[in-house]
Amino acid sequence: MRVKYAFKMAYEALTSDLMRSALTLVGIFLGIMTAVLILGMGKGIILSIEQQMSAFGSDKIMIVPLPKTKSFMQSGMGIMLVPFKDSDVDALKGISCIKSISSVVWKRTAISYKDKRVMASVYGVNEDLFRQYSDYLKIDKGRIFSDNERNVVVLGYDASHKLFGEDVLPGKHIKIENTTFRVVGVFERIGTSLSETDDQAIYIPIKAAQKIFNRENEIDFILLSTRQDCDAGDVAKEVELVMARKRGKSIENADFTVITSDYIKEKTDQVLSILYAGSVGVGLIASIVSAIGIANTMFTSVFRRKKEIGIMKAIGAKKRDIIVMFLIESILLSLIGAFLGLLAGILTGFILNSFSIPFSIDIIVFVLAFVIGVVIGILSGILPAKKAGELSPMVAIRA
């Protein structure tokens, strides 16, 4: 039997009962679509994090007042965080490999412009932060402020152009907790999917922030940049020792965490491995359900087409021809479901991407969907096809 004829027979069998075929496709369709979404979002998150990490830089170190034994997800769950002091920063200045240090005070608070009042994230920073992240925070209009200034503010792109419903440009004034600040600069739009909060950020001098937030001599986190001839990992270990000694803690029980680009990569890899494991699990469950559904459909097809099989064998069709015909039918059914699931997953992913949810598709996903489709088709069709091929022509014709 020619393969072309076998495909024709398989196609006619599938289209003869569209409802049954469609219902059979549901399992693999949903499984492939879900797996594509999980893998696509995982890939999108990787790319976004890589973009953010390129801004963080391998020479950057961040110190946050979160115990090493706790996760960042737990930081908002009643854990008492002990803020840093100016004296902690002074202690770090003794480390020779540190090029610059910037301190940050943060608060989400009320911002007013004319009669408009909104909530936004305000960062009290010193001038060194703008130098440390000059490749990430680029001035679009105006200028950055100096450490000698007080009631001045630099706005993120969205904070300037979207937050108040109109452009707030250099020379205008806004109020932060009822204190008037003059806008001196606006940053360029960063635009990555994970940078939305940075585009909406508002920056003021740290001394002004400590005063209006009643946070005198308190710092929320510290940012360091290291010299090019020093290894950031080695510097991070020295920072841990200095900070632990200064705060009267052992490194094991430290009430702070030192973050490097390697630390971020390690944590994100852990999250992504969970995502990938989840997609494999979903795909496996869907594959099993789909295989059972397709096998059931194929057994039913064999039962309903006994006479047709008997006639074909009576006029010369071999056992191998019958098996090939039913296997092609099974593989076609599986591939159609996989293709539709792949298409639906990609379209859904791009829709999510338009809402700033990271999504990126890789060629491996196309290959994976095809392979899954073929494997499920063969595994679910082999037994029904074998049964069809073993039917006696006389028994089949009389059925």
pLDDT at 57: 73
Choose between 248 and 296: higher pLDDT. 248
pLDDT at 72: 47
| Beta strand pairing call for 60-64 and 257-259 | antiparallel
Per-residue model confidence as pLDDT tens digits over 284-293: 776 677 777 7
Q: How many CB atoms lie within 10 A of CB 23?
A: 12
- The average pLDDT across 233-260 equals 91
Q: Domain residues of the chain, as ranges?
A: 3-51+267-398, 59-259
pLDDT at 230 over 50: yes
- The average pLDDT across 285-311 equals 74
- The average pLDDT across 195-220 equals 91
pLDDT at 260 over 80: yes
The pLDDT mean for the chain works out to 82
pLDDT at 69: 62
Tell me how far apart the alpha carbons of residues 263 and 250 are, in angstroms, rounded to a whole number: 20
Answer yes or no: are the C-beta atoms of 30 and 102 closer than 8 Å.
no
pLDDT at 167: 95
Per-residue model confidence as pLDDT tens digits over 63-74: 999 886 655 444
Sorting pLDDT into bands at 50, 70 and 90, what band is 102? very high
Sorting pLDDT into bands at 50, 70 and 90, what band is 121? very high
pLDDT at 300: 75
Choose between 209 and 314: higher pLDDT. 209
pLDDT at 3 over 70: no
What percent of the chain clears pLDDT 90, i.e. is strictly above it?
A: 37
Listed ranges 53-57, 62-66, 271-275, 365-369; the one with the highest mean pLDDT: 62-66
Tell me how far apart the alpha carbons of residues 125 and 180 are, in angstroms, rounded to a whole number: 17
Sorting pLDDT into bands at 50, 70 and 90, what band is 77? very low
